[in-house]
Chains A and B, each alone.
Chain A
Amino acid sequence: MRSKLPDAASSRKMAASSAVVAILASIWLCSSIAADASGSSSETTMHTNNWAVLVCTSRFWFNYRHMANTLSLYRTVKRLGIPDERIILMLADDMACNSRNKYPAQVFNNENHWLNLYGDNVEVDYRGYEVTVENFLRVLTGRHESAVPRSKRLLSDEGSHILLYMTGHGGDEFLKFQDSEELQSHDLADAVKQMKEKHRFKELLIMVDTCQAATLFNQLHSPGVLAIASSMKGENSYSHHLDSDVGVSVVDRFTFYTLAFFERLNMYDNASLSRLFNSYDPNLLMSNAYYRTDLYQPNLQEVPVTNFFGSVMETVHTDSAYRAFPQKNTPRETRIRTGNTAEDDSRRSILTDMTKAECPFTRIVSSLESKMETVGNLDSLVNYGLVMILPVLVVSVWLST
């Protein structure tokens, strides 16, 4: 029996056909993968709004600079356009009215005292002892009690970019909250993971200004997260300068140089994130600013800082009105009215209608009341009435004995 060996031509044909089949299969696979991915990838959702969560995790007078850091960033973010209703500010808020503060109700971030951070329109959402790890995680994950008002909730959706800024004292894989609790890096990573699962953000920028800040990001795994820290493991973050008048350090170095970058911008600018990250000089900071971009897909040079720090509103023009509604033509005259006379008339008419349907008792009482109003000196009438009670009492007692 002759074994059939495929000759060269047919083998070439077979190879060609198998290659064609493979190419077709891969094309079909790619298109189906693309089809599956397009429904759920974040690139297709529109960037609709920006949120900022600014947290100061320390309290007490000697941590003045942390509150000044947070308030400076709050002011910057508001100036660039994010409104108060989309900022969650968590502060211990015990600096401005502290008895050690030589300038009451004023918080400065520079020794020239040029800018009062606590001046106008500061809306603190969580203050004092409300700044706890539990509340912070509740804000991030969205698991509040039902009575918590909307202004204390992070109401972001899948098109939001969120800026998360934290400052205070920190260490290897933890951040100290109000001297009594710790936020660990795995807690933060877990909260971010749950946020991502529920599509609570499109992109997230985490900025941390503490000692050994980069260790806080060690356990992050969710896509769409960009993180920048003021120092790496084993390094401290230092304050910038001491204000001899106030008596404490007023700002940290990392935040100081960040603010210097933003003071040069206005809301129409489009400086990129890579310019921000490259503006940090390790010699000036006295630590190495570290940023983590492996979870973040877009190129940093193309992303403007206003994507996170400014306000964004996607707008669509309304082409035409929806003319469906029947219109009653009334003569055109502008009714100018002073005060609410029209409404008062209607209200009074309702009241008069009501009096007709009253019961006789109420009618008697109201007529009595109107008669009483005509009496001139009501007090003397009352006194006479009281005096009259005495003889009546005497008579009745005498009768009963």
Chain B
Amino acid sequence: MAEIAESPSTTEHPLGTVGASRSKASSSALRESDVDPKTMRTTTPGLKRLFLTFSVLLSFLLGFPFLWKTVEIYRSPLPFGDMDALSKQIESSPLQFPCHFQSVFLNFDSRSSGGILDPRELRSSILSEMTKLTSQTLERQCGSCGENFTLSVVVDSDGNGLTPNCSYKCGALGALNLGDGEAVDEALRSALDESCSDYGGKLYTVVVVNGDGAGEGPKALVGKHRHGWISGRELDAEAMIGRMAEMFVKIFMNGGREDGAIHGEFMPVGADGRVVLSFSLLNANPDDWFYDWDFQKLDDTLLNPVIEALKPIANISVESQVLYHTPKSSFSYWDESLGSYIFSTKDLPFFVNSNEWHLDTSVAAGGRTKILQFVVYVPSANECPLSLQLPSGEISKTNGFISPMWGGVMVWNPQSCIKYSGSGPPARLLMHPDDLHRIFEVLMGQLRQLFGLKSDSIYVGAAGAYKLLPSEKGFTEWELDVLSRQHTCFNLHSSGTTLGSLSRLVQSLPRMIIKDEIGKQVKFSLEAAQLAQTNASVGLYEASAASSRQARSLAEDAFFHPSIMSVSYFSFEHCFAVYSPFFLPVSLHVLLAALREWRRYKQEKAKYVRWKVKQVKAA
């Protein structure tokens, strides 16, 4: 009770004015004795208590945002909108590349083909054939040319003809010796390559040469670069339109396969864009004989160009080893008529004896790299020679097979199957370069098969057979274009789905820490995907393949970041359970005290007001 009420004083005052004051005091005392302390008070209630309690409450309230900030989880801001937009966009509209085609009719003078050939007519008929062939595929394939291709036709007869701009210059191709495929290929390359730089060099050309062939009918060849030709005696231009259209669609667009798309099991590129090719020479029983190979020379001379050619698609590294005491786990039987031990295609799944063949010992490959095993198996003396018999009954020419996403196996029989019978261990035999060369050709065929292409060099279409010239880089330029397109498509699809999954995952776990690294990886992945799409729309196949590979690897790095583990992060209930035992009782007390003081203040204020009113009424 801080205020001291004026108590009625009955003590004598020495001064004379006491009487008046006494009378006043007595009158006020009279009034004060009427005051009931429970309902009225004469002084204003103090504010100190209220101030104290409310200041404590206010400090709690002010401190609460700071507490919230300290228990906040650091989440790097991810562009969820962009990620979902990219994923939806890639799902809905499959990526299509612009393709440019050109056909040249050579030496078709008016005598042989009934009138001068009109390029415009020819163009429309070729276009209609091509659209017929492309519409046979059910849906718009991702990575195909789609409806987005251009075609130009040139008729060159005796050096004067009608040429649209930026294309083949008439008279550039002189007399061609049609017998030698390689020479024709080189001549065509030098003639055609300079002519057009608008399309970035990606112009596919088919030349129809009406010359004097051998007379067995038109011969069609596809070169190592981006052109092919049909040659023959007394060719009819209209008849060649079907073959030309097939060459454009089936070979240049689809890569020599019936449907345009490569399935996922023929895209052996790892999630970080790297592949390791692991070559192993397996000696089944070194007590009989054992072989060694000069792999370094092979790598330098023959394998390096292939790896260089595949650079936009995958970052390839090579390793090799020689293993001993590696028998296979399937059985073979001796066939007298064929003169060798036979294993059939039914035994192929059980050929690889993983208990004894310790192939996957690479420490160079990281966690997300793909390893492709290429195994050359040298059989033991009691199974020599070992041949593969196909279901048709004939013996395989290559003695090899592949398993998609794993690699390939090839059986090589030594020249003579005579067992070493000397004392002591047999000497190490170095493989002859010719044998190594032949083995390498089979292994290259297997590498092509693993990437979805065929290992042989003939394509048989509806209109006829086409010979495909093989390239010493392992893949011809038009095949690399097909691979680039398919891989771009696959990589973009994969990065879109990965980013979409990541955004859904992050949003579903609101209390998970997202590190800055993840944010950066997502940002760069989105940029690379954007760049890949731009490159694809312009027609730069290799650049788009490289940037799409980068987009995929960054998206995978972000998704598989080791810090995204839901089991490590506590739920909101946990946080509540940790802090509430302290804060709840304290805040309860503070709040109650503040409320109580407030109520008391209001009561005292009401009492004072009542007294004031009474005074006013009495006055």
- Could you say which residues of chain A place their CB within 8 Å of the CB of B390? 317
- Could you say which residues of chain B place their CB within 8 Å of the CB of A311? 349-350, 354
Q: Determine if B501 and A198 form an interchain contact, defined as CB atoms under 8 angstroms apart.
A: yes
In Å, the complex CA distance between A15 and B432 comes to 80
- Could you say which residues of chain A place their CB within 8 Å of the CB of B388? 317
B29-37, B50-58, B434-442, B607-615 - the one binding chain A:
B434-442
Q: Which residues of chain A from 140 to 161 have a CB within 8 Å of any chain B CB? A: 141-146, 148-150, 153, 155, 157-159
Return the CB mask of A322-338 against B: 1 if under 8 Å, else 0: 11111111101011111
Q: Determine if A336 and B434 form an interchain contact, defined as CB atoms under 8 angstroms apart.
A: no
Known: A48-B406, A143-B565, A187-B567. A324 touches B472 (CB 8 A): yes
Q: Determine if B445 and A320 form an interchain contact, defined as CB atoms under 8 angstroms apart.
A: yes
**A85 an interface residue at 8 Å Cβ cutoff?**
yes
Partner pick for A313 among B352, B505, B561, CB 8 A cutoff: B352
Closest CB of chain A to B458's CB: distance in Å?
Answer: 9
Closest CB of chain B to A181's CB: distance in Å?
Answer: 9
In Å, the complex CA distance between A65 and B365 comes to 37
Return the CB mask of A248-269 against B: 1 if under 8 Å, else 0: 0000000000000000000100
Q: Determine if A315 and B345 form an interchain contact, defined as CB atoms under 8 angstroms apart.
A: yes
In Å, the complex CA distance between A81 and B449 comes to 25
**A235 an interface residue at 8 Å Cβ cutoff?**
no
**B429 an interface residue at 8 Å Cβ cutoff?**
yes
In Å, the complex CA distance between A141 and B345 comes to 36
Highest count of chain B CB atoms <10 Å: which of A121, A157, A158, A330 = A157
**B213 an interface residue at 8 Å Cβ cutoff?**
no
Return the CB mask of A303-324 against B: 1 if under 8 Å, else 0: 0000000011111111111111
Partner pick for B398 among A121, A158, A315, A318, CB 8 A cutoff: A318
- Could you say which residues of chain B place their CB within 8 Å of the CB of A194? 501, 505
Return the CB mask of A345-381 against B: 1 if under 8 Å, else 0: 0000000000000000000000000000000000000
- Could you say which residues of chain A place their CB within 8 Å of the CB of B138? 31, 35
Closest CB of chain B to A235's CB: distance in Å?
Answer: 28
Q: Determine if A138 and B445 form an interchain contact, defined as CB atoms under 8 angstroms apart.
A: no
In Å, the complex CA distance between A134 and B564 comes to 11
**A49 an interface residue at 8 Å Cβ cutoff?**
yes
Q: Determine if B433 and A328 form an interchain contact, defined as CB atoms under 8 angstroms apart.
A: yes
- Could you say which residues of chain A place their CB within 8 Å of the CB of B352? 313
Closest CB of chain A to B323's CB: distance in Å?
Answer: 15
Known: A324-B471, A324-B472. A337 touches B401 (CB 8 A): no
Q: Determine if A318 and B404 form an interchain contact, defined as CB atoms under 8 angstroms apart.
A: no
Q: Determine if A318 and B455 form an interchain contact, defined as CB atoms under 8 angstroms apart.
A: yes
Closest CB of chain B to A178's CB: distance in Å?
Answer: 15
Closest CB of chain B to A254's CB: distance in Å?
Answer: 27
- Could you say which residues of chain B place their CB within 8 Å of the CB of A318? 396, 398, 400-402, 408, 410, 442, 445-446, 449, 455
**A84 an interface residue at 8 Å Cβ cutoff?**
yes
**B265 an interface residue at 8 Å Cβ cutoff?**
yes
In Å, the complex CA distance between A323 and B354 comes to 31
Q: Which residues of chain B from 132 to 181 have a CB within 8 Å of any chain A CB? A: 138-139, 142
- Could you say which residues of chain B place their CB within 8 Å of the CB of A149? 363
Count of interface residues, chain B, beta-carbon cutoff 8 Å: 73
Q: Which residues of chain B from 342 to 376 have a CB within 8 Å of any chain A CB? A: 345, 348-350, 352, 354-355, 360, 362-363, 365-367
**B61 an interface residue at 8 Å Cβ cutoff?**
no
Q: Which residues of chain A from 31 to 55 have a CB within 8 Å of any chain B CB? A: 31-32, 35-36, 38-39, 44-46, 48-49
- Could you say which residues of chain B place their CB within 8 Å of the CB of A282? none
Partner pick for A81 among B350, B440, B566, CB 8 A cutoff: B350
Q: Determine if B355 and A312 form an interchain contact, defined as CB atoms under 8 angstroms apart.
A: no
**B264 an interface residue at 8 Å Cβ cutoff?**
yes
Return the CB mask of B457-476 against A: 1 if under 8 Å, else 0: 10000000000001110100
**B231 an interface residue at 8 Å Cβ cutoff?**
no
- Could you say which residues of chain B place their CB within 8 Å of the CB of A81? 350
Known: A121-B355, A318-B446. A323 touches B562 (CB 8 A): no
**B454 an interface residue at 8 Å Cβ cutoff?**
yes
In Å, the complex CA distance between A317 and B392 comes to 13
- Could you say which residues of chain A place their CB within 8 Å of the CB of B564? 143
Q: In chain B, what residue has the closest Cβ to A137?
A: B567
Q: Determine if B405 and A159 form an interchain contact, defined as CB atoms under 8 angstroms apart.
A: yes
**B560 an interface residue at 8 Å Cβ cutoff?**
yes
Partner pick for B404 among A48, A330, A335, CB 8 A cutoff: A48
Return the CB mask of B397-423 against A: 1 if under 8 Å, else 0: 110111111101010000100000000
Q: Determine if B565 and A137 form an interchain contact, defined as CB atoms under 8 angstroms apart.
A: yes
In Å, the complex CA distance between A353 and B206 comes to 55
- Could you say which residues of chain A place their CB within 8 Å of the CB of B566? 187, 190
In Å, the complex CA distance between A149 and B367 comes to 7
**B70 an interface residue at 8 Å Cβ cutoff?**
no
In Å, the complex CA distance between A320 and B456 comes to 5
**B430 an interface residue at 8 Å Cβ cutoff?**
yes
Q: Determine if B559 and A321 form an interchain contact, defined as CB atoms under 8 angstroms apart.
A: no
**A7 an interface residue at 8 Å Cβ cutoff?**
no
In Å, the complex CA distance between A217 and B425 comes to 59
In Å, the complex CA distance between A335 and B433 comes to 11
- Could you say which residues of chain A place their CB within 8 Å of the CB of B410? 318
- Could you say which residues of chain A place their CB within 8 Å of the CB of B568? 134
Closest CB of chain B to A281's CB: distance in Å?
Answer: 33
**A344 an interface residue at 8 Å Cβ cutoff?**
no
Q: Determine if B265 and A48 form an interchain contact, defined as CB atoms under 8 angstroms apart.
A: yes
Closest CB of chain A to B238's CB: distance in Å?
Answer: 34
Partner pick for A150 among B367, B406, B567, CB 8 A cutoff: B367
In Å, the complex CA distance between A188 and B403 comes to 32
Known: A48-B403, A321-B438. A334 touches B432 (CB 8 A): yes
Closest CB of chain A to B509's CB: distance in Å?
Answer: 9
Q: Determine if B401 and A317 form an interchain contact, defined as CB atoms under 8 angstroms apart.
A: yes
**B427 an interface residue at 8 Å Cβ cutoff?**
yes
Q: Determine if B562 and A144 form an interchain contact, defined as CB atoms under 8 angstroms apart.
A: yes
Partner pick for B470 among A38, A44, A324, A328, CB 8 A cutoff: A324
- Could you say which residues of chain B place their CB within 8 Å of the CB of A148? 367
Q: Determine if A316 and B401 form an interchain contact, defined as CB atoms under 8 angstroms apart.
A: yes
- Could you say which residues of chain B place their CB within 8 Å of the CB of A187? 566-567
In Å, the complex CA distance between A194 and B433 comes to 50
Return the CB mask of B534-572 against A: 1 if under 8 Å, else 0: 000000000000000000000000011110111110000
Closest CB of chain B to A28's CB: distance in Å?
Answer: 12
Highest count of chain B CB atoms <10 Å: which of A84, A197, A322, A334 = A322
Closest CB of chain B to A199's CB: distance in Å?
Answer: 8
Known: A83-B354, A323-B441. A335 touches B430 (CB 8 A): yes
Closest CB of chain B to A344's CB: distance in Å?
Answer: 14
In Å, the complex CA distance between A151 and B565 comes to 21
- Could you say which residues of chain B place their CB within 8 Å of the CB of A315? 345, 348-349, 401-403
Q: Determine if A198 and B559 form an interchain contact, defined as CB atoms under 8 angstroms apart.
A: yes
Q: Determine if A313 and B403 form an interchain contact, defined as CB atoms under 8 angstroms apart.
A: yes
Known: A121-B355, A325-B437, A325-B441. A143 touches B455 (CB 8 A): no
Closest CB of chain B to A318's CB: distance in Å?
Answer: 4
**A95 an interface residue at 8 Å Cβ cutoff?**
no
- Could you say which residues of chain A place their CB within 8 Å of the CB of B434? 327, 329-330, 332
* Listed A/B pairs (19) with beta-carbon separation below 8 Å: A35-B139, A45-B263, A48-B405, A84-B354, A84-B355, A85-B354, A138-B562, A153-B367, A311-B354, A317-B348, A317-B401, A318-B408, A318-B442, A321-B444, A327-B437, A328-B433, A329-B434, A332-B434, A334-B430
20 further A-B pairs in the complex, CB-CB below 8 A; given A315-B348, A318-B455:
A83-B355, A142-B560, A144-B560, A148-B367, A150-B367, A157-B405, A197-B501, A198-B498, A313-B348, A313-B403, A316-B401, A316-B404, A318-B446, A320-B455, A322-B445, A323-B457, A324-B474, A325-B472, A328-B433, A334-B430
Pairs A-B, 6 closest by C-beta atoms: A83-B354, A324-B470, A35-B139, A321-B441, A315-B348, A320-B456
Chain B interfacial positions (CB closer than 8 Å to A): 138-139, 142, 263-265, 302, 345, 348-350, 352, 354-355, 360, 362-363, 365-367, 388, 390, 396-398, 400-406, 408, 410, 415, 427-430, 432-434, 437-438, 440-442, 444-446, 448-449, 454-457, 470-472, 474, 497-498, 501, 505, 559-562, 564-568
